């Protein structure tokens, strides 16, 4: 057999990369992974140990507006707070069937107007349109279950007022965007922003509650008794104030008719305005207290002084008379307890026109009273200050102020002579005295306390003398101006008093608009028959709440015994 010689073939290297090159590539990839892992680990460590303070999230948190603070009364009772709510919106560009959407939504939310809804949904170039703000949880669930494309919800905050009408005029209310519209709510948005910020906790981005001077227990008693008085005397409106005269803190303020700040549609009428600060009224004889203090402080009168009230006081074509004319020469205490217009006018004329105006400026009655409540009216003064203007303004005729301002001035006459701007926020006695202005001498204040107590014991305010609480006060009955003329039939009655008069702590003002006579009042509709007894009931209820203990004299005990016998009989 012939042998065939085969060519020699060298051993061929395996296909693919050389082993060394493959190992290098694996090492490179591993190094990259390790490097990336180390970089991530280092960054995490840095963020953990030294967190970045200027990151976008932190910046947004710091720049975001502080939430509205809760509002609480002086004892911590909640008056206003926020709750989470959902608001309904639509993206018109994503609405597939407008007719179906309108039909379903109006059937589920009957208060939606179909025409308006259709207009909002028929704008394909818009990406957002509010349909209904702050829906209820039931409404939210019902709309969600409809499954309409392009319809959704935005989480918002809603302001609620747990006490409802009880503190409406003081607390105020906000709009749908939680912007303050009235009362303390508006204050917290304006000049109160600094106050709010001072309560903030930057670390948690929240605010501490704003604590008011209001005592909701006293507020409830005030409103209840005012409501009963308005109903009993068929008045068209009424109002009241309780104030701590040692600090200027307003413990209660009511103006009836009031409103419910929780109402969705806050279309309140003029009758529902806060008459205690945004209205001005002739307080009548209540202003006589200012005239008496003026005469005492200037030294033109003392308790021993006497004035001729036998005949009407004639100034030009005007004749000033007394409601219950005594037709006698009266001492200063007699003028006060009988509320003599003639005697009071003569006291003011003795002081003189210039000094009268000077004193009214001193006590602030020429200026608008400014407190935390934005609703504040200026006093209405005589256009021309003549001899007649001084005589009539002396007893509150032709001279109108906001009731809170009148209360603040009288408080200053009774607390030792220190005028304090009223406040609706907590204030200590030390803070109050630091900003107080002395308007009369301490001796003048002492004399005024004597006259107030005398008037409650023996004068026109006798029905306010709650046994054991040493009440003092001054009445006022003013004719209302109707069509430019004073009406004999329509009156504004008021009472302003304090207790206990041996060391006064609290002031009470009651005002009734157009009260009517009743069989019990023997046909009379003046202050002593309606505003005064209403004030007595308020004092009787709130004195124990405020820690004022009754103190009974032998005469008081005798009166109590007579009352018990009368009730049994």
In 3D, which of 303, 409, 299 has the Cα closest to residue 351?
299
User: Is the same domain home to 146 and 233?
Assistant: no
- DSSP state letters, 84-152: EEEEEEE-GGG-S-HHHHHHHHHHH-TTS-HHHHHHHHT-TT-S-EEEEEEE-HHHHHHHHHH--TTEE
What DSSP line would sit under 264-295, residue for residue?
A: SS----GGGS-HHHH--B--GGGGHHHHHHHH
Q: 190-194, 343-347, 543-547: lowest mean pLDDT where?
A: 190-194
**DSSP three-state, residue 207:** strand
**Token pair belonging to 349:** 């004329």
224/137 same-domain check? no
Task: Classify residue 73: in a domain, yes or no.
Answer: no
**Is 524 within a domain?**
yes
Q: Please tell me the least confidently modeled range out of 27-31, 107-111, 120-124, 328-332.
A: 27-31
The two tokens of residue 207 are 């605010």
- Please indicate, yes or no, if residue 309 is contained in any of the structural domains: yes
* Nearest Cα to Cα of residue 407 among 533, 241, 534, 279: 241
In a domain, 42, yes or no: no
Clarify whether residues 390 and 460 are in a common domain.
Answer: yes
Residues 141 and 256 occupy one common structural domain: no
* Confidence band, pLDDT 50/70/90 cuts, at residue 79: very high
What's the mean pLDDT in 76-92? 93
Residue 189 pLDDT greater than 70, yes or no:
yes
Is 368 found in the same domain as 510? yes
pLDDT at 560: 81
Domain shared by 329 and 233, yes or no: yes
Rounded Cα–Cα distance for residues 509 and 411 (Å): 11
For residues 472 and 399, membership in a common domain is answered with yes
Higher-confidence residue of 200 and 144: namely 144
Query: Which class for 363: exposed (0-12), middle (13-18), buried (19 or more C-beta within 10 A)?
Result: buried
Q: Which residues pair with 243 in a beta bridge?
A: 250, 507
Spell 412-432 as b/e; 16+ CB within 10 A means b: bbbbbbbbbbbbbbbbeeeeb
In a domain, 204, yes or no: no
Of 109, 128, 160, the one marking the end of a domain is 160
- Which pair of structure tokens corresponds to residue 106? 């109006």
* Stretch 416-435: mean pLDDT: 96
| Residue pair 355/298 in contact by the 8 Å Cβ criterion | yes
Q: Give yes or no for residue 18 having a pLDDT over 70.
A: no
> What pLDDT score does 44 carry?
57
Clarify whether residues 298 and 395 are in a common domain. yes
Domain annotation covers residue 165: no
Please check whether residues 155 and 235 belong to one and the same domain.
no
The percent of residues above 70 in pLDDT, for the chain, comes to 86
Catalytic residue among 285, 305, 339, 494: 285
CA distance 41 to 35: 10
562 — pLDDT class (breaks 50, 70, 90): confident
Domain that holds residue 152: 86-160
How does residue 535 score in pLDDT terms, banded at 50, 70 and 90? Answer: very high
CATH code: domain of residue 131: 3.90.1310.10
Alpha helix ranges (H) inside 352-441: 353-362, 387-393, 403-414, 429-435
For residue 542, pLDDT over 50 is answered with yes
Residues 406 and 532 reside in one and the same domain: yes
What are 158's strand-pairing partners? 83
Tell me: do 277 and 401 sit in the same domain.
yes
Q: Which three-class secondary structure state does DSSP give residue 402? A: coil
Strands 437-438 and 78-90: unpaired
What letter would DSSP give residue 525? -
- 229 vs 238: CA distance, rounded Å: 9
Taking the C-alpha atoms of residue 380 and residue 161, their distance in angstroms, rounded to an integer, is: 34
Using alpha carbons, select from 100, 113, 189 the residue that is nearest to residue 146.
100
Average of pLDDT values for 490-498?
95
The answer to whether residue 285 is catalytic is yes
pLDDT at 557: 83
Last residue of a domain, one of 160, 184, 203: 160
What does the chain come to in residues?
569
Residue 170, pLDDT > 70, answer yes
452 inside domain: yes
**Mean pLDDT score of the chain:** 88
DSSP helix/strand/coil, 439? coil
- pLDDT class for 59, splitting at 50, 70, 90? very low
Cα–Cα–Cα angle for 317, 320, 321, rounded to 5 degrees: 135
Residues 152 and 246 in one domain: no
| Distance from the Cα of residue 362 to its chain's centroid | 26
pLDDT band at 7 (very low <50, low <70, confident <90, very high): very low
pLDDT digits (tens, 9 = 90+) for 362-416: 999 999 999 999 989 999 988 889 999 999 999 998 889 999 999 999 999 999 9
Three-class DSSP category at 246: coil
pLDDT value, residue 269: 84
Q: What CATH code is carried by the domain that includes residue 378?
A: 3.40.710.10
What's the CA gap between 490 and 492, in Å, rounded? 7
**Other C-beta atoms lying within 10 Å of the C-beta of residue 541:** 17
Helix (H, G, I), strand (E, B) or coil at 360: helix
Tell me the pTM. Answer: 0.83
Q: Is residue 229 part of a domain?
A: yes
Domain count, the chain: 2
Q: Work out the percent of the chain whose per-residue pLDDT is above 90.
A: 68
């Amino acid at each position: 057999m012939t042998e065939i010689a085969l060519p020699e073939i060298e051993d061929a290297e395996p296909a693919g990369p050389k082993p060394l090159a493959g190992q290098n590539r694996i090492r490179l990839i591993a190094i990259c992974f390790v490097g990336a892992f180390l970089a991530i680990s280092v960054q995490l460590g840095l963020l953990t140990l030294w967190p970045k303070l200027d990151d976008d999230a932190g910046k947004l948190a710091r720049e975001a507006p502080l939430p509205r603070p809760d509002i609480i009364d002086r004892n911590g009772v909640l008056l206003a707070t926020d709750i989470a709510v959902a608001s309904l919106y639509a993206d018109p560009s994503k609405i597939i069937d407008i007719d179906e959407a309108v039909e379903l939504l109006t059937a589920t939310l009957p208060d939606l107007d179909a025409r308006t809804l259709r207009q909002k949904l028929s704008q394909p170039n818009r990406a957002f349109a509010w349909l209904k703000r702050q829906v209820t949880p039931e409404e939210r669930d019902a709309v969600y279950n409809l499954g309409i494309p392009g319809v959704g919800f935005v989480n918002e905050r809603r302001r609620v007022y747990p006490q409802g009408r009880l503190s409406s005029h003081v607390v105020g209310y906000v709009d749908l965007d939680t912007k303050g519209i009235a009362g303390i709510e508006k204050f917290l948005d304006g000049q109160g922003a600094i106050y709010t910020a001072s309560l903030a906790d930057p670390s948690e981005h929240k605010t501490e509650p704003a604590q008011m001077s209001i005592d909701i227990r006293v507020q409830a008693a005030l409103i209840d008794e005012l409501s009963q008085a308005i109903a009993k005397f068929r008045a068209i409106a009424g109002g009241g104030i309780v104030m701590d005269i040692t600090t200027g803190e307003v413990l209660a303020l009511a103006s009836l008719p009031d409103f419910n700040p929780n109402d969705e549609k806050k279309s309140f009428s003029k009758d529902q305005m806060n008459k205690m600060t945004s209205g001005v009224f002739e307080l009548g004889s209540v202003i006589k207290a200012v005239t008496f203090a003026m005469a005492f402080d200037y030294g033109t009168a003392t308790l021993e002084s006497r004035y001729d009230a036998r005949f009407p006081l004639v100034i030009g074509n005007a004749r000033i008379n007394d409601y219950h004319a005594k037709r006698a020469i009266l001492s200063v205490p007699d003028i006060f307890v009988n509320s003599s217009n003639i005697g009071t006018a003569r006291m003011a004329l003795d002081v003189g026109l210039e000094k009268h105006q000077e004193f009214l400026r001193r006590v602030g009655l020429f200026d608008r009273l400014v407190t935390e409540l934005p609703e504040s009216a200026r006093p209405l003064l005589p256009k021309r200050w003549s001899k007649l203007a001084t005589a009539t303004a002396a007893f509150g005729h032709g001279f109108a102020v906001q009731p809170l301002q009148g209360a603040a001035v009288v408080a200053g006459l009774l607390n030792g002579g220190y005028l304090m701007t009223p406040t609706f926020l907590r204030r200590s006695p030390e803070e109050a005295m630091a900003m107080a202005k002395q308007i009369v001498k301490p001796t003048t204040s002492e004399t005024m306390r004597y006259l107030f107590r005398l008037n409650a014991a023996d004068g026109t305010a006798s029905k306010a003398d709650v046994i054991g609480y040493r009440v003092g006060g001054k009445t006022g009955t003013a004719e209302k101006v109707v069509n430019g003329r004073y009406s004999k039939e329509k009156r504004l009655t008021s009472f302003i008093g304090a207790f206990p008069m041996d060391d006064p702590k609290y002031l009470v003002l009651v005002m009734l608009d157009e009260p009517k006579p009743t069989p019990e009042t023997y046909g009379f509709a003046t202050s002593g028959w309606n505003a005064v007894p209403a004030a007595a009931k308020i004092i009787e209820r709130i004195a124990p709440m405020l820690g004022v203990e009754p103190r009974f004299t032998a005469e008081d005990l005798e009166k109590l015994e007579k009352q018990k016998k009368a009730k049994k009989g």
